Amino acid sequence: MVKLSVLLPVRDAVATLPAAVRGVLPELGPGDELVAVDDGCSDGSGEWLRQLARMDARVRVVPGPGRGISAALNAGLAHCRGAFISRMDADDESLPGRIRESVAALEASPSLAAVGTQVEIFREDQPVSPNMRAYETWLNGLTDPARLFHDRLVESPLCHPAATVRAGLLHALGGYADDGLPEDYGLWLELLSAGHALVNLPRVLLRWRDSGARLTRTDARYSPAAHLALKARHLARLPAIRARGRCALLGAGKTGLGLCRALRALGVETAFFVDVHPRKVGTRIEGVPVLPAEALNGPGEVHLVAAAGSKGARAELRALLSTRGCVEGEHFTCAA
């Protein structure tokens, strides 16, 4: 049986593809494989891959349907024979030890469904934005499964091209969802919802390229609205929210309002907002009353969702709720 399959979708990446592959091949044993998906390449990437496959029996090139990343991933997944699936993107750089250490971590911890690694975000055309640097810092801090679980609805907690997943679990979910929402973030949330653990290895083992042409900047499935819809879907599944059909949102800003609307579309009402802005307190937004922070006296009938997205707000809310006797996961969930 093949131990490891590296799944690499490719669409017109001839300039960066050789470096991406060079970082992967040295870590593959003779029984491992690199499954590259030629997803309608027109710049010579497909020909380059097929030439490589003629020289290296571990490399297989399969056609993609040309309908986007989820469809390409599923096309490649259908050909993967490994017990572990390690992802790679054609414009990133895998550093020595990433695959070997990821597989070792999965073999050592049966509770882990997938592992990522710490990453270095880089750009070649301009400095990396402060927002991306903040995301890098946050993601690189998720090296404990419990911390990652509590932050799962903040942002996507694993970098997809840095991730290695148990193939059986990925196949059991039917592969990647192609529902107009972020396929990678959706996968992590489904695995966590099923009771599995995820973690990032505490070493930078992937250089993650950022650019203006990156799908996360150009494809609607990675838009803020799509992320909110995905978060709302999983919030609505929480037993404490599902049982009552309502929750309370801590934060009546952009994130809180977006979640309120997305949850309402799923049949979950917002009992009240909590906010510190004096112009909001005492008003009604979306027909929902806005209460002051002093209203948080402790665990109540409705589950609290920390949805304040301003810098430092999540830490402040966690500290406040802790002093009021609220336990994260039981009484409140962070979603911003």
Residue where the block lists tokens 């990133």: 92
DSSP per-residue letters across 120-169: EEE-SSSPPPHHHHHHHHHHHT--SHHHHHHTTTTS-SS-GGG-EEEHHH
Supply the pLDDT for residue 214. 73
Supply the pLDDT for residue 155. 97
State how far the Cα of 200 lies from the Cα of 31, in Å rounded to an integer. 26
State how far the Cα of 279 lies from the Cα of 294, in Å rounded to an integer. 16
The Cβ-side half-sphere exposure at 263, using a 13 Å CA radius, reads 29
Supply the pLDDT for residue 220. 85
- Tens of pLDDT, residue by residue over 121-130, are 999 999 999 9
User: 3-state class of 72 per DSSP?
Assistant: helix
Count how many residues are written for the chain: 336
DSSP per-residue letters across 238-283: SHHHHTTTEEEEE--SHHHHHHHHHHHHTT-EEEEEE---TTTTTS
Task: Give the chain's domains with CATH numbers.
Answer: 4-222 (3.90.550.10), 228-334 (3.40.50.20)
Pairing of strands 303-306, 332-334: parallel
Supply the pLDDT for residue 217. 73
Supply the pLDDT for residue 331. 97
Q: How many CB atoms lie within 10 A of CB 331?
A: 17
State how far the Cα of 211 lies from the Cα of 228, in Å rounded to an integer. 23
- Tens of pLDDT, residue by residue over 142-183, are 999 999 999 999 999 999 999 999 999 999 999 999 999 999
Supply the pLDDT for residue 211. 86
Supply the pLDDT for residue 215. 73
Residue ranges, the chain, pLDDT below 50: none
Contact 159, 92 (CB under 8 A): no
Short-list 146, 275, 211, CA closest to 13: 211
